[in-house]
Amino acid sequence: MDPGLIGRGGEINAICAFMSATSGAPAALAITGDIGIGKTMVWRHVVRTASRSSRVLSCQPALSERPLSFSALHDLLGEVAVEILSVLPSSRRTAVQAMLLGGTSSRPYSTDCSDAFRPSRERQVLARGVLDTLQALSAEAPLIIAVDDAQWLDRPSAGVLEFCSRRLHSEPVTFLLTFREESQVFPLGLDRVLPPDQLRRVRLGPLSPGSISEIFRSRLETIPPRHVRTRLYEACGGNPFYALECARALLEHPHLPLASEPIPIPVPRSLSDLMRRRVRQLTPNARRVGRLVAASSNPRERIIRAACDEGESWAAIDQAVDDGIIERQGDVLRFTHPLLRSVLYGEMRLSERRKVHQLLGAAAEDMEERAGHLALAADRPNENIAGMLDEAARHAASRGAPEDAAASQEQAIRLTTVGQLEKVRERTVRAADYHFRAGDLTRSRELIHSALASSPPGPLRAPLLLRLATIHYHQNGWPLAEQTFREAAQEASKDCAHRAHAEQELAFARLVAGDLPSASRWAKLSLRSAERAADPRLVAHSLARVALFEFLKGNGIRPDLLERAEALDASAGEEPIGRLPMLDPSLATGVVLKWCDRLDEARRRLADRYRQSLDRGEEVSLPFLLYHFSELECWAGNWDTAEEYALEGCRVADESHQLPMRPATLYALALVRAHRGLVQDARELATEALALCDRTGNVPLTSLVVSVLGFLALSVNDYQAAHSRLAPLAEASAAGGLREPSVVKFLPNEIEALAALGEVDLARSLTRQLEERGKSLGRRWALATGARCRAHLAALDGDQQGALAACEQALSYHQHLPMPFELGRTLLVRGMIERRARYKSVARDSLSQALGIFEHLGAPLWADKARRELSKIALQTSVDGLTCTELRIADLIAQGQTNREVASAMFVTENTVQTHVRHIFQKLGVRSRTELAARFRFTVASETLASRFSAKQTWADLPAPRASVEDLPMNITDLGDSSTCTRNYAHSHDLYKAHPGGRRSVKRNLRSTKEL
């Protein structure tokens, strides 16, 4: 896809499919659509793609060149001039040459368009020459004649091309044209000469809102906030060119419009001229209706009629429909072109607009609409209308439209009577809260600053500072947020409620700074303040934090605290608009469940929370949720979904300018891409995330990002790099008091790296720690991966029995762990150990299962590891044909010994050695000692050889996998049903295969989660 081209995949596929289906014979395809809809962009893309397999002659005629005869033909054939002139018969060559030279021969062609089609001999000769050219070129490769804006072809060129098109019968020549919508006739008369199935029009319709936003992102320096984008989209009807022009004009204004202002979209002069001409021709009745419709956000015919002067309304609306500016869609009236609305509204004087809004306000049936119109009709402050707007704002917020609520609230500020300082402050803060929820953090901050400016020091400032600090952590990062929370705590002084709130956030800020002990202290302090304030919601939030930090410190899940927190939170009713917590009790529980391997339960909770945020229009909390969601789905092996959530998170974080949230979503994306083996991609994402973590001050997130880099290094067998990334994380988490095993997901990777580097003691001690904590807390992930690490280390010690027993233990934990990638890794380790122990058939089984899992998930780097192991078994099999003596001899030869040295080492004659060597060569099919050494070294590591010479074990001697984990110590019984992970690892393949993965929208994913 063209790097600048956004969307249009469907249309391009249709075009390419048509072109390849019709490429054997003359065909024509026209891309049509309004000006600026993107015809040229698509045309260019298709031309570029087609030029890989076809010869393309192209031109882009312009209106200004239309009077110049043959300018288009000159552009089309200019490039191939040298090539074609030599093959043309002389008279035709002269004619074509003269045309290409721009008429240096004796003025053969008039610039007068009227005679372009007059049959003159010269023109005939030229046309024949061009036809010869097209035929000659198309004999070598399919030929495409590509004309952008065919309506501007100069008539003589068009005449020649038309002449040719009538004479092409079986040549592979495709005309690829673009032209404006208004022209109904197919250019060059192609519809008259080509059979219908060789002719196609592809009309480019409006782009989607998402694509238009994407275009803004790629073309504009500042991206307008979402509500402005929505209005731009509506005003420009999905036309990218209009949308860009209008956005640029709009961004030049110092203040962006509010959601409630009707048509603030300025139409750039170049575009509006056309519309203005149209509007000028309207009859007074049609114009009156047009203005009413233009001023309405939801123009229903009933309301417009009521707002029109009595009696004439029917006729007036009919007139506007007849004049072609308005069309009826059921009860709704719409402009035939979206820009008409901007022009009609823009041409009214202020007094006229007020009058129109007055009429609409009187006719409105909906209270939000009425308040909005009356506000725009008012020419001075009016407490009555301001009160209506307060009510309208509450109404809008309760239907999940904080954007609209913010707009009404801002109107209310404007209409507040002079001197009512308290009222202004109150409305300002409420408007700030609505903006915050809608994700417009910048406006929210401006309003809070203005409220702070009018507030004296003392407790009044505390709630404002709390809001400001919250905005900082969403927008600027943690250090500034923490500092502001401290100020808020100081200002709150004896006001326990505000103190509790500030202390809760300070607890979170300390956690983000990597200081868990202090975070825990603040959380406990906040609980005390909240209890003093006797505010159930505050108590609930403090309890949730205390529980979370206890969990992280390794003190297990505290269902007593979490349940109480949730119950209290629920009893406190709807959250007040002024409280904007990042972590509420339900989310805290969801996150804890996620860490504790209870992915299904966690998924349900996060989904509920996500839906709630969507329903309330709370953009601001989405990135944090999406990051957790994405990580969860990555662990669960649903990588398409994980990627989708991460991308959506990045998008929302960008759109709502939440810089500190971006690294979290980048991390989630890097994590899934790392699992997918997209090394470069994942590294770049991680690098960007690290830089942002640094700027915004987030220590735990930095560790997560670094852990992805460590995992990547491990995936490509760069153990040294893996260790140098992961070792500091292991030290920091130990030093920071992070004793919960399930939050140090990087630990098994570090252990594997250490083992590979020969640092066995440290690896063993970390493994012991992981397993001990896993056991005391009942964490299956820790137990499964811990046992896997133990297996690895036992194998290194040559304790095959112990290693295989540990594998079986790990697999029994996997039965209740819905993490297929981890299962794959354990099977890989088991397969490796079995292979080394020479249990070939079971090794092949384990490795094939691992390979199947990695392939199914799409983890190529890990699939390669499994494949490499499998190929070693194949080689081993050939080595297996050797007798014990032959094996010893082969081993010594592989070590570089001569026959004599081998003979003396084995107390046999040199002749005997020679005979054995001959047999070894035959059995292994090798022809030299070097080849033998290479094969042998690759296949059988010396420690494996040693094991082969010892007594043979059989598969039956190995311990059977444990059937259940009933004997696991559990302390999570009160938190709901823990038996949801009932999948047997042998069937887990099919289970997660059946999981509805694939590319679906986030909402659809969530719907299916609800149905779980």
Q: Nearest approach, Cβ of 38 to ligand ADP (angstroms)?
A: 3
Nearest to Mg ion of 46, 378 (CB atom)? 46
Q: Nearest approach, Cβ of 48 to ligand ADP (angstroms)?
A: 14
Among Mg ion, ligand ADP, none, residue 585 binds (CB under 5-8 Å by kind): none
CB 618 within 8 A of CB 402: yes
C-alpha 459/C-alpha 363 separation (Å) is 45
Q: Nearest approach, Cβ of 180 to ligand ADP (angstroms)?
A: 8
Token pair for 330: 């059921």
Q: Is 989 exposed, middle or buried (0-12, 13-18, 19+ CB in 10 A)?
A: middle
Q: Nearest approach, Cβ of 186 to ligand ADP (angstroms)?
A: 17
Among ligand ADP, Mg ion, none, residue 244 binds (CB under 5-8 Å by kind): ligand ADP
Token pair for 1: 């896809």
Stretch that binds Mg ion, among 37-45, 225-233, 279-287, 304-312 (CB under 5 A): 37-45
Nearest to Mg ion of 204, 913 (CB atom)? 204
Stretch that binds Mg ion, among 40-48, 107-115, 559-567, 773-781 (CB under 5 A): 40-48
Question: Is residue 982 classed as helix, strand or coil in its secondary structure?
Answer: coil
Q: Nearest approach, Cβ of 243 to Mg ion (angstroms)?
A: 16
| Closest residue to ligand ADP, based on beta-carbon distance | 38
Position 29, amino acid: L
In 220-337, which residue ranges form alpha helices assigned H by DSSP?
A: 226-236, 240-251, 269-280, 284-295, 301-307, 313-322
Among Mg ion, ligand ADP, none, residue 129 binds (CB under 5-8 Å by kind): none
Among ligand ADP, Mg ion, none, residue 215 binds (CB under 5-8 Å by kind): ligand ADP
Sheet (strand 143-147) strand order:
55-59, 143-147, 173-180, 27-33, 199-203
Among Mg ion, ligand ADP, none, residue 741 binds (CB under 5-8 Å by kind): none
Nearest to ligand ADP of 216, 936 (CB atom)? 216
Nearest to ligand ADP of 133, 178 (CB atom)? 178
Q: Nearest approach, Cβ of 245 to ligand ADP (angstroms)?
A: 9
Q: Nearest approach, Cβ of 6 to ligand ADP (angstroms)?
A: 4
User: Taking CB under 5 A as the rule, does residue 40 contact Mg ion?
Assistant: yes
Interface pattern 232-271 for ligand ADP (x via CB under 6 A): --------xx--x---------------------------
Residues 741-780 that bind ligand ADP (CB under 6 A): none
Q: Nearest approach, Cβ of 39 to Mg ion (angstroms)?
A: 5
Interface pattern 184-223 for ligand ADP (x via CB under 6 A): -------------------------------x--------
Q: Nearest approach, Cβ of 66 to ligand ADP (angstroms)?
A: 17
Among Mg ion, ligand ADP, none, residue 7 binds (CB under 5-8 Å by kind): ligand ADP
Nearest to Mg ion of 39, 510 (CB atom)? 39
Q: Is the dihedral of CA 373, 377, 383, 386 positive or negative?
A: positive
Q: Which residues pair with 57 in a beta bridge?
A: 145
Among Mg ion, ligand ADP, none, residue 33 binds (CB under 5-8 Å by kind): ligand ADP
Among Mg ion, ligand ADP, none, residue 991 binds (CB under 5-8 Å by kind): none
C-alpha 110/C-alpha 96 separation (Å) is 15
CB 873 within 8 A of CB 847: yes
Q: Which residues pair with 27 in a beta bridge?
A: 174
Q: Nearest approach, Cβ of 70 to Mg ion (angstroms)?
A: 21
Nearest C-alpha neighbor of 191 from the set 135, 150, 152, 157: 150
Among Mg ion, ligand ADP, none, residue 458 binds (CB under 5-8 Å by kind): none
Token pair for 7: 């969307």
Which residue matches tokens 């304030």? 533
- Total residues contacting Mg ion by CB under 5 A comes to 2
Stretch that binds ligand ADP, among 4-12, 20-28, 942-950, 988-996 (CB under 6 A): 4-12
66 backbone dihedrals φ, ψ, rounded to 5°: -60, -40
Q: Is 277 exposed, middle or buried (0-12, 13-18, 19+ CB in 10 A)?
A: exposed
Among ligand ADP, Mg ion, none, residue 41 binds (CB under 5-8 Å by kind): ligand ADP
Binding ligand ADP by CB under 6 A: which of 6, 158, 516, 664?
Answer: 6
End-to-end CA distance of the chain: 38
**Checking DSSP bridges between strand 143-147 and strand 55-59, what pairing results, if any?**
parallel
Separation in Å, CA 977 to CA 598, 601, 973: 10, 9, 7
DSSP 206: P
Token pair for 680: 């470069």
CB 792 within 8 A of CB 807: no
Separation in Å, CA 27 to CA 18, 383, 722: 9, 69, 58
Among ligand ADP, Mg ion, none, residue 803 binds (CB under 5-8 Å by kind): none
User: In degrees to the nearest 10, what's the CA dihedral of 823, 825, 827, 832?
Assistant: -170
Q: Nearest approach, Cβ of 206 to ligand ADP (angstroms)?
A: 11
838 phi-psi bin (left φ>0, alpha ψ -120 to 50, beta other):
left
Q: Nearest approach, Cβ of 215 to ligand ADP (angstroms)?
A: 5
Q: Nearest approach, Cβ of 28 to Mg ion (angstroms)?
A: 18
Nearest to ligand ADP of 271, 1002 (CB atom)? 271
Question: Is residue 675 classed as helix, strand or coil in its secondary structure?
Answer: helix
Among Mg ion, ligand ADP, none, residue 241 binds (CB under 5-8 Å by kind): ligand ADP
| Closest residue to Mg ion, based on beta-carbon distance | 40
Binding ligand ADP by CB under 6 A: which of 4, 9, 458, 959?
Answer: 4
Residues 9-68 that bind ligand ADP (CB under 6 A): 33, 35-41
DSSP 859: -
Q: Nearest approach, Cβ of 212 to ligand ADP (angstroms)?
A: 9
Q: Nearest approach, Cβ of 853 to ligand ADP (angstroms)?
A: 40
C-alpha 444/C-alpha 474 separation (Å) is 12
Nearest to ligand ADP of 215, 705 (CB atom)? 215
Nearest to Mg ion of 40, 897 (CB atom)? 40
User: Taking CB under 6 A as the rule, does residue 938 contact ligand ADP?
Assistant: no
Token pair for 875: 């080689």
Among ligand ADP, Mg ion, none, residue 240 binds (CB under 5-8 Å by kind): ligand ADP
Q: What is the 3-state secondary structure (H, E, C) of 94-137?
A: HHHHHHHCCCCCCCCCCCCHHHCCCCCHHHHHHHHHHHHHHHHH
Nearest to Mg ion of 33, 660 (CB atom)? 33
Q: Nearest approach, Cβ of 71 to ligand ADP (angstroms)?
A: 19
DSSP 196: G
Nearest to ligand ADP of 7, 156 (CB atom)? 7
Q: What is the 3-state secondary structure (H, E, C) of 441-507?
A: HHHHHHHHHHHHHCCCCCCCHHHHHHHHHHHHHHHCCHHHHHHHHHHHHHHHCCCHHHHHHHHHHHH
In this structure, the number of other CB atoms found within 10 A of the CB of residue 84 comes to 22
Which residues make up the interface to ligand ADP (CB under 6 A)?
4-8, 33, 35-41, 215, 240-241, 244
Which residues make up the interface to Mg ion (CB under 5 A)?
39-40
